[in-house]
Structure 1
Amino acid sequence: MMEFVQRLWSTLPLDSGQGWRVWVSSAVVGYVLFCTAFRYSQKRAIEKRFNFGDRSSLAQMTLKDAHAIQTWLAEQQFPSVFSAAIFFALFKTYSIPSISGLLVTTRQFGRPGDIQATSKRAADTSVLLTNMMMRPPGSSLAKLAVARTNYFHNIYRRTGRISNDDMLYTLSLFTLQPMRWTAMYDWRPLSDMERCAIATCFKVWGEDLQISYEALPSHSRGWTDGLHWLEELDAWSQEYEERHVEASDTNAEVVNATRELVLCQIPKSLHRVVWGVVAILLGPRVQKAMRIPDPPLGLESAFNLMITIRKYILRYACPPRPYFLRRVYNADSPDPITNRYQSQRWLGRPWYVKTSLLDRWGLAAWMLWFNGTVSSMVFEDGKFIPEGYLIDDVGPVTHVGKGRDEMRDNVSALDLKSPLRCPFS
């Protein structure tokens, strides 16, 4: 072996002007091979750990296993695409007039020009979603998030102002959008095991949120596994879009309020480009239903080129994200002083965020000031509830302290469900 290495060493043109090129080329190739192998070896390690070797084994996937796989995807494998996909899934529902109309008539969203109200609802929605989706299944915070969401939904269910189909469509977008976006915009598509894990989680969450699946063909006889349920949900969701996505004044009002929130921390010179990217991501049908202008000429080609470059950089030049750098969606423990939980990220206004030097004087604060959406670089102390949130009180001010008896009953019912259950077995 040493003799072989010595012969190889002697063949390298170390004394010529070309020697550095050999070393640089070797280093680049070695680094690319390392990153690629490391990324796929992590994927194979996860597959080996859970050992779902074929389609028939997927029916035995428990909620606990599915949640562990989904958490790994959302925190370490595809955190940027997953979080953006969930945001756009919610945003896309505003192309359905029955959904946007409810938001406008109840005034729970905020009018255009009222970033404070719009950002508060976005923060409340984020708190409930991330606690339900990212907390361990069966944990008290996960169950509280489900119960609080049911409390708000039931207000409109009782009066017939929210339909099961609209709720099922919203659930379908939360389920399908991360898979679609990962395939289109990230370094690899999801495997069958990963898609089944997401489907298993959302199938259970849909049941916990009291959403009926009667509209799906196999509801009466059941589904063989998460992929079977996913196929039917996807087909139903696309058909529902074709029938119900259409332009309306309420769509435009909710979208305009969201536009102000999305763009308030982006330089004004980039507003047209960023909103053009939003139109591309939504697709022509939803874009027209939301009355969003067409993207600037050439933007879609430039966007697709950047996505392709990003894919290759992630796949060949970036090692996988280690656990200690994972995307954190919720604080692991409450603040020791307030005994409340603080949000880890904010958009527009720092709701439920512990005020720090970075929040007051960081890039996001500078952009808010520069764009004229706040009058001072310093956020008003206490205005945005920096002490954190209690899930029992998340929501509009008029609902603080309300619904706790109903939530308690709902949590008691959820206590009877085991995180080790297999929803398709």
Structure 2
Amino acid sequence: MKRFEWRDKIRTLDAEEDYEEIVRILSTREFPWDIEQALGLALYRTYAVPSIGELLGGTREFTARPQHRYDDTVLILNDILEHGFEPGRGRDALRRMNQMHRSYDISNDDYRYVLSTFVVMPVRWLNDYGYGWRRLSDHEIAASTNYYRKLGRHMGIKDIPETYEEFRELMDSYEAEHFAYTEGGRAVSDATLDLMVDFYPAWQRPLVRPFTKGLLDDSLIRAFRYPEPSAFWRRAGDVALKARAKVVRRMRPREEPKWARSSSNVRSYPDGYHPSRIGTFPKGCPIPHDMLTREVPGTGAHVPAPGQAVAPATSDPSGDATTDAR
């Protein structure tokens, strides 16, 4: 297989119709490591928005059980990407994500901002920062934008931007207006950095923390009130990642997909998992998590199995009944 064969394959696909397939190729064959890093940085940025950082800090989930929260996020997003939005495992993962979000009072503006980070940060990492072994094309950026627009619609987000440029403007303006220090945001940031350091061998950990902080832009450093990284670590991170990109460019293309669920950093479910059973289940959540359900033939919807109590119906943008928690 030739180095640019996947790129050439993507060129034959339609960014308006085949965007799920394009994003799968980009995320699991062309740039699996890079997109994982970029999406991790995307989520990390959201902690600097006070309403988000304080909410996450208040749940204590991200500070007391950061490995579980990391794994749940990775696995749910992986299942949506791998299995799609239609009824099945991907829809189950989408439903689980929506159930968790609805347990909290989250504004549509915050939802739109978080979605914008997922659209923008992979492009910034690969193209603007120069850390990709090749640049994303406008065709690929459009497909990725369409993918996350669809995800946003299934999440019930309103007023979703239509183009990458609109997402970029939204993200930059929202951060300029809202980034600020909060104790909750700082606590979640510290816990996330500790987790990231723990992913590496013990002998590397003293270097990983300053290396990682060197990759954070000034707005994040100020929002979390971290000491300004030294010029050495700023330069070291940039040089190392650009050098890696040059090495990867000369490697053989990945023929088999690398799914995030196979990452060695995902550690919470060694015996397997089902997306409907992972994540947080806040007290007072109306979803009956141990309910047995059956599928209605031809609809993709699930209803309580015989003998099960019926929970109050709620609206679900994913298109399935929220009583499904198999």
- The counterpart of 2:259, out of the listed 311, 320, 328, is 328
Deviations 1:67-125 (A, max 9, x none): 11110111111111011111111111111111010112222323xxx4xx121121122
Aligned residue identity for 1:187: W
Equivalent residue number for residue 259 of structure 1:
193
Point out where structure 1 has 5 or more consecutive residues left out of the alignment.
Answer: 1-34, 53-57, 217-222, 224-228, 331-343, 354-385, 416-425
Equivalent residue number for residue 195 of structure 1:
141
Which has the larger helix fraction? 1
1:411 and 1:97, CA in 2 relative to 1: closer, same or farther beyond 3 A?
A: closer
Deviation at 1:345, TM superposition (A): 2.9
Equivalent residue number for residue 25 of structure 1:
none
Equivalent residue number for residue 350 of structure 1:
267
Deviation at 1:319, TM superposition (A): 2.0
Equivalent residue number for residue 410 of structure 1:
316
**Where do residues 156-235 of structure 1 align in structure 2 (5 Å cutoff)?**
156=104, 161-183=105-127, 184-213=130-159, 216=161, 223=162, 229-235=163-169
Query: TM-score, structure 2 length as denominator?
Result: 0.82
Deviation at 1:244, TM superposition (A): 0.5
Deviates more, 1:405-414 or 1:97-106: 405-414
Q: SS of the counterpart of 2:67?
A: helix
Contact 1:66–1:201 (CA<8 Å) still a contact in 2? yes
Aligned residue identity for 1:131: D
Deviates more, 1:402-411 or 1:74-83: 402-411
RMSD, aligned α-carbons: 2.6
Equivalent residue number for residue 149 of structure 1:
97
1:395 and 1:311, CA in 2 relative to 1: closer, same or farther beyond 3 A?
A: closer
1:301 and 1:407, CA in 2 relative to 1: closer, same or farther beyond 3 A?
A: farther
1:108 and 1:309, CA in 2 relative to 1: closer, same or farther beyond 3 A?
A: closer
Deviations 1:298-325 (A, max 9, x none): 122222222332222222x2121123xx
Structure 1 residue 103 and structure 2 residue 56: aligned? Answer: yes
1:106 and 1:46, CA in 2 relative to 1: closer, same or farther beyond 3 A?
A: closer
Deviation at 1:66, TM superposition (A): 0.5
Measured in 2, the distance between the counterparts of 1:409 and 1:253 equals: 34
Measured in 1, the distance between the counterparts of 2:74 and 2:40 equals: 9
1:181 and 1:403, CA in 2 relative to 1: closer, same or farther beyond 3 A?
A: farther
1:195 and 1:403, CA in 2 relative to 1: closer, same or farther beyond 3 A?
A: farther
Aligned residue identity for 2:22: I
Structure 1 residue 294 and structure 2 residue 228: aligned? Answer: yes
1:269 and 1:314, CA in 2 relative to 1: closer, same or farther beyond 3 A?
A: closer
Deviation at 1:397, TM superposition (A): 5.8
Point out where structure 2 has 5 or more consecutive residues left out of the alignment.
Answer: 292-310, 322-326
Deviation at 1:412, TM superposition (A): 7.4
Deviation at 1:128, TM superposition (A): 1.4
Measured in 1, the distance between the counterparts of 2:41 and 2:109 equals: 19
Equivalent residue number for residue 249 of structure 1:
183
Query: TM-score, structure 1 length as denominator?
Result: 0.64
Measured in 1, the distance between the counterparts of 2:263 and 2:166 equals: 34
Equivalent residue number for residue 251 of structure 2:
318
Measured in 1, the distance between the counterparts of 2:132 and 2:24 equals: 17
Q: SS of the counterpart of 1:95?
A: coil
| Residue-pair matches, total | 297
Measured in 2, the distance between the counterparts of 1:129 and 1:42 equals: 22
Measured in 2, the distance between the counterparts of 1:406 and 1:144 equals: 19
Higher-Rg member (1/2): 1
Aligned residue identity for 1:103: L
Equivalent residue number for residue 8 of structure 2:
44
Q: SS of the counterpart of 1:185?
A: coil
Equivalent residue number for residue 277 of structure 2:
393
Deviations 1:404-423 (A, max 9, x none): 657996387259xxxxxxxx
Q: Percent same amino acid among aligned pairs?
A: 26
Deviation at 1:162, TM superposition (A): 1.4
Equivalent residue number for residue 306 of structure 2:
none
Q: SS of the counterpart of 2:267?
A: coil
Contact 1:134–1:329 (CA<8 Å) still a contact in 2? no
Structure 1 residue 237 and structure 2 residue 171: aligned? Answer: yes
Measured in 2, the distance between the counterparts of 1:403 and 1:94 equals: 32
- The counterpart of 2:46, out of the listed 90, 93, 103, is 93
Contact 2:116–2:168 (CA<8 Å) still a contact in 1? yes
Measured in 2, the distance between the counterparts of 1:345 and 1:310 equals: 19
